[in-house]
Structure 1
Amino acid sequence: MTAVTGDRRSVVPRRRRRWRDIALFALLAGPNIALLVFFVYRPLLLSLNYSLLQWNVGSDVARFVGLQNYTNWFTAPGTGQIMLNTLVFTVFTVGGGMVLGLGLALVLNRRLPGHTFVRTVTFAPYVLSGVAVGLLWLFIFDPRYGVLSTLLGALGVPSPDWYNQAPWAMVMLIIVYIWKNVGYVALIYLAGLQAIPHEVVEAAAIDGASRWQTTRQVVIPLLGPTTFFLSITTLLSSLQSFDLIQAMTRGGPVGSTTTLMYEIYQEGFVSGRAGFASAVATILFVILLVITIVQLVVMERKVRF
């Protein structure tokens, strides 16, 4: 009888602690969960609903059309060009940013004079407004009076018409996007480099490995988790880029820099076709979801934490 009473006394405090932990979790996580539901998941569900409607911004009438908006999108003559623009922009900005960011991190990881100041300057463009950066670089790329035109002229090279020639407008966007975001990639890679044990690098040097061999065969494989994280975050950010495109090219010339994200803006806020824009936004969401899942499933298998 005494043993049973003792067990009951021990169970009661455990239950109280459990409910206290649940209450503390609800108090701390509840507001964040509520904000996510209201500002993320609720708009997502509303967008899915709107994508099934023929509805214009400001109109009081919305007609259910099912999958007609999706059919119109996939059969539109400009869809292929928009998908190609999105692919080219994403591949070059993510790939270029990762490569340049890693190289910059390897340089910044050395104890050079003024390295703290250089790190700050490198990261500064990432926190600047995309619109301000785009307007600044428009003056640099000006084919007649820009700094780049002057430098190319000094070398005897004519400056391309960055604004009005289709290939060069995309090149201009890619350069500016990489410049703005490479500091973020370098900072994350730098944190990964500083987390690598010095003993591992010293052991490779003792075994006779050169600096390049150590970097390629020891350092880069150990940066696998960092590369895995950056590949996801930079890819999602690139696919959702809007501010630079709006500030510099506005999707032109002749739609050569219009990406999926910018097409959503054009259809929703310029043309006012809210239902059609919601369908394009849903397509972009599905693309982001699929890419993220593929990265998590495929790349995670090759990463050693």
Structure 2
Amino acid sequence: MSEQLQAVGRIPAPRRRMGLTGATRRRYLLFLALVAPAFLIRFATAAYPIFQTVLLSFTNLSILKGTNEFIGLQNYIDMPGDYGVRGATTFTIIYVLASTALDMIVGMAIALLLNARFRGRAFVRTINLIPWAIPMIAAGYTFRWLLDDQFGLIPYWVFELTGIRMVTFISAWGARLAVILVQVWKEAPFMAIIFLAGLQGLSQDIFEAAKVDGATAWQRFSRITLPLIMPLAITMGLFRIVWSLANFDLVYGLTFGGPGVATSVLALRVFQEGILFFKFGFASAISVVLLIFVGIIGIVALVLFRRTEVVD
């Protein structure tokens, strides 16, 4: 009898079926009903253009030539031999890497300055964002006038102060340097605010302990601040690369890709091939290649961003 009771005692209790209650299920259905229309509209407006662009990249659609035939991968095969695409690819790499690196360095320097305590710090933090608030196309046209080789104010001031005559837009490397520096002037303040937020989130106890131990300002920055802020810096750097690849408004306003194709970027080349030359098939092929690069970097950035959130 005791053995039977022990056996009965070993019988597991029936598990409760965990399910959604009626109220919870209704809340989920309401949530889906409210979100679904916006999601479907957003998906349709993004998916259809991408799908159509991929299809057009396999054709020779051109309004001027009156052609619209399926040519397979010919557009992709022709890209490496195209002078404009080669020039745009070269400067895109230079522009993206140089501007991103300078954005990070200048942004970090500004963030360290804004993180220090001094009179008028709130005002300086406010005016720091003025360049970033200016539309990119407006900044491009403004500096196109300021840096003009004949009538620009900046070349005039440089000549008056140093006797050196600036040649900005005639020289290929002068124009490239101008585009990169204007981009840094425009975007570094935003990077500085992001870094400033990261700096203010660091515990000051570590820095106080290092200071007591005799660490110099450079040692505190290189061995404490930089390692702690590095995940944020890497994530923001990757996002900055994506933004630089996808936009061309600064180049459009400042140089329009000139002289020649010295400052042309791939995004601008898509605009020129499609809107100016009406070669929609070739422009679509460039767009697909650019989309692949942006997508890969964007996915890496999102993964690193989520890892940073988990670590935090």
TM-score (norm 1): 0.88
- Please say if 1:22 is aligned against 2:24: no
Superposed, 1:1-305 pairs within 5 Å as 14-57=20-63, 62-293=68-299, 305=312
Cα distance in 2 between the residues matched to 1:265 and 1:220: 39
Cα shift at 1:58: 8.8
Cα shift at 1:61: 6.2
Query: C-alpha offsets along residues 106-144 of structure 1, whole Å, 9 cap, x if unaligned?
Result: 000112222122112111221211121112112221223
> How many corresponding residue pairs?
298
Partner of 1:4: none
Structure 2 unaligned blocks of 5 or more? 1-13
Identity of aligned residues (%): 28
TM-score (norm 2): 0.86
Cα separation, partners in 2 of 1:301 and 1:137, compared to 1, 3 Å:
same
Cα shift at 1:38: 2.1
Contact 1:53-1:275 within 8 A present in 2 as well: yes
Cα shift at 1:42: 2.2
Structure 1 unaligned blocks of 5 or more? 1-6
Cα distance in 2 between the residues matched to 1:260 and 1:99: 25
Query: C-alpha offsets along residues 74-113 of structure 1, whole Å, 9 cap, x if unaligned?
Result: 2223433221111111111100011000000000011222
Structure 1 SS opposite 2:130? helix
Cα distance in 2 between the residues matched to 1:20 and 1:36: 25
Query: C-alpha offsets along residues 183-205 of structure 1, whole Å, 9 cap, x if unaligned?
Result: 11001001101111111221221
Cα distance in 1 between the residues matched to 2:137 and 2:210: 46
Contact 1:228-1:300 within 8 A present in 2 as well: no
Cα separation, partners in 2 of 1:286 and 1:177, compared to 1, 3 Å:
same
Contact 2:115-2:199 within 8 A present in 1 as well: yes
Contact 2:270-2:286 within 8 A present in 1 as well: yes
User: In structure 1, what residue type is equivalent to 2:88?
Assistant: I
**Root-mean-square deviation (CA), in Å?**
2.7
Cα shift at 1:26: 1.2
Cα separation, partners in 2 of 1:22 and 1:58, compared to 1, 3 Å:
farther
Contact 1:57-1:268 within 8 A present in 2 as well: no
Cα distance in 2 between the residues matched to 1:282 and 1:182: 29
Cα separation, partners in 2 of 1:42 and 1:86, compared to 1, 3 Å:
same
Cα shift at 1:46: 1.4
Cα shift at 1:160: 2.5
User: In structure 2, what residue type is equivalent to 1:43?
Assistant: P
Cα shift at 1:217: 0.7
Cα distance in 1 between the residues matched to 2:302 and 2:44: 27
Cα shift at 1:241: 2.6
Cα distance in 2 between the residues matched to 1:81 and 1:101: 29
User: In structure 1, what residue type is equivalent to 2:209?
Assistant: A
